[in-house]
Amino acid sequence: MSSPTPAARYVPDASVGAKLFVAEEHWVEARAFFSRLESEPEAVFCVPELFYTEVANVLWKYVRRDGMSASDAADSLRRLRHLAMERVGLDTILDDAFGLAIKLGITVYDASYLAVARVANAQIVTADVPLFEAAGQEGIPALRLRDAVPSPLG
């Protein structure tokens, strides 16, 4: 008797989360990736609490600079908070994130996603090239957003 296939575990970063709501490069891939929350109920998405603040900041910039309405941004945040993702608290990851940031020369913000990936035994999904490269340096599995979903062309 074979054992069940382990659930896919992902840590999307804010560069991926923001693309759910703003038409940036690879926004179609971001929507397809997050659709796994419904189409693959066994898939687990884990994020640091910081994820929500970072996506909110991107939306704030779109309100300030690009004409997004404040009500659309607030609605986007509401929808983001209702996605079925496991939230990892600061107390769980801060020491590891700080050490990774110093070791790899990245921000503590970015290192927080690496620390979540470690604690959750998950792979990073990002549109941020430096974060993708830092994950590789540390041996943490990572996918570029553009590679995280099947190509519509097959």
Q: Residues 91-112: pLDDT tens digits?
A: 999 999 999 999 999 999 999 9
The torsion angles phi and psi of 135, rounded to 5 degrees, stand at -60, -45
pLDDT tier, 1 (very low <50, low <70, confident <90, very high otherwise): very low
pTM summary value: 0.90
Cβ-contact 143, 32 below 8 angstroms = no
Q: Residues 15-66: pLDDT tens digits?
A: 999 999 998 899 999 999 999 888 888 999 999 999 999 999 999 999 999 8
The two three-digit tokens of residue 30, written as one number: 């971001």
Cβ-contact 125, 10 below 8 angstroms = yes
Please name each of the domains of the chain with its CATH number. 9-51+81-147 (3.40.50.1010)
